[in-house]
Structure 1
Amino acid sequence: MNSKKTATFLLATGQSLRTGGPNKLLLPFQNKSLVRRTAETILESKTGPLIVVLGHEARKVHEELQDLDVEFVLNTDYKKGILTSLQSGLRSFHGNVDGFMVVLGDQIFLRPQSLNILRRHFIAADPGPSLIAPLYNGERGHPFLISSHFIPEILEQTEQLEKGARFLFRRHPYHVHLVDMPPQFLNNDVGTPEDYELMRQG
């Protein structure tokens, strides 16, 4: 059962269109940038190699993370939608894994335990393809874990790229496993300037 291997893609490509102004991934929070805090959390978990997909202000984000044990992939099509970032990561990754975690670059309240919980459910799932996603107070959120079985389908997708991998969950409901997360595990990301100010004050 423990033979299943995973990797993690950290999508750090966004243009911060909702926050406006500077790149939100580089904003400080408790002496670290949002993206670095998220990357360090992933590295503390047991989810395998970490691949950081760059896009908007790629050089600055690269400089922020270059001393960490991560691989970098550049997505030149990031403006077309978030799914292009996952597609770029998958095309560039040559490791042999059974599944992969997808994490957003501003999930600073993510905990290593939550990633490991999702991975344990993936390992324990019945043989065959699976889509593992967390439930926070009854709502599906990020990050999620996808069987490598679905890679060809992801790479072939050309529509609604801005909606990411949601199409897989709609298309394959019988492969979806939803995991109730403990109430102290937050699902917050930083979508607006107000979110950021609340986070700093909290």
Structure 2
Amino acid sequence: MSICGILLAAGRGKRFDPSGQRNKLLQTLGDDAVVVRSARHMLAVLPRVVAVVRPGADAVAAQLLALGCEVTTCPLADTGMAASLAHAVGYARDTYGWIVALGDMPHVQPSTIQSLKTALEQGAGIAAPMYRGRRGNPVGFSRQYLPQLLALEGDQGARGILKHSAVTELEVDDSGILQDIDTPADLPPKD
């Protein structure tokens, strides 16, 4: 039963840099770019990770390809997260389920991804991590949600599916499920 990772890395990061000059996914955390750290944590658990990038994101694509991710470009990425997610699910539709992670969430631990994978393998339709009562990312979807995922539109991603479906919530000791890199202040100070 194969579970595929989907790494959404197609946003413009306008809150990080409204001018678009600095791509938040390429900012460094230790020895890795933000998106590389996010991908490494997924690849530690999942043999297949499909990363979605926007047109022109050649530097992001190159780093993810070098790690071993499959990279696909979503031509409609600028219309919202839903387009990128539907594109990725369509690209990787030949699997039992998907764990959908965000490229700007490099602090999610591999153990959390493993918990989501296990929940899907044990029959959960949707699995989401919880940290101290708050739901975070990534989120796992079984194949039964393929039609809904392919039909997504707008900038809400899969929120509508989560709102109207039973979700297996998994308590994890991982505050990284709530931490994304949205502004320069979210990056650790340089040494």
Shift of 1:200: 3.2
Instruction: Give RMSD over aligned pairs.
Output: 1.9
What is the rounded CA distance, in whole Å, between the counterparts of 2:177 and 2:147 in structure 1?
A: 32
Instruction: Look up the match of 2:3.
Output: 6
Tell whether 2:189 aligns with 1:200. yes
1:1-202 correspondence runs (5 A): 4-20=1-17, 21-45=21-45, 47-55=46-54, 57-95=56-94, 97-125=95-123, 130-158=125-153, 161-172=154-165, 175-183=166-174, 187-196=178-187, 199-200=188-189
Which ranges of 4 or more aligned residues in structure 1 deviate by more than 4 Å? 183-186
Over residues 134-159 of structure 1, what are the superposed CA-to-partner deviations in whole Å (9 max), with x where a residue is unaligned?
1111111100000111111122233x
| Deviations 1:44-84 (CA, angstroms, capped at 9, x unpaired) | 11x33110101164211112222222211101111111011
Gaps of 5+ in 1: none
In the alignment, the residues of structure 1 paired with residue 175 and residue 91 of structure 2 have an alpha-carbon distance, to the nearest angstrom, of 35
Contact 1:29 1:200 in 2 (8 A): no
Answer yes or no: is the 8 Å Cα contact 1:134–1:181 preserved in 2. yes
TM-score (norm 1): 0.86
Matched residues in 2 for 1:66 and 1:153: separation?
28
TM-score normalized by the length of structure 2: 0.90
- The DSSP-based 3-state class of the residue aligned with 1:109 is coil
Structure 1 position 190, deviation (Å) = 0.4
- For 1:79 and 1:155, the matched residues in 2 are separated by 17
**Is the CA contact (8 Å cut-off) linking 1:14 and 1:56 kept in structure 2?**
no
Structure 1 CA distance, aligned partners of 2:127 and 2:79? 25
Identity level (%): 25
Where structure 2 has 5 or more consecutive residues not aligned to the other structure, the ranges are: none
- The question of whether the paired residues in 2 share the 8 Å contact of 1:99 and 1:147 is answered with yes
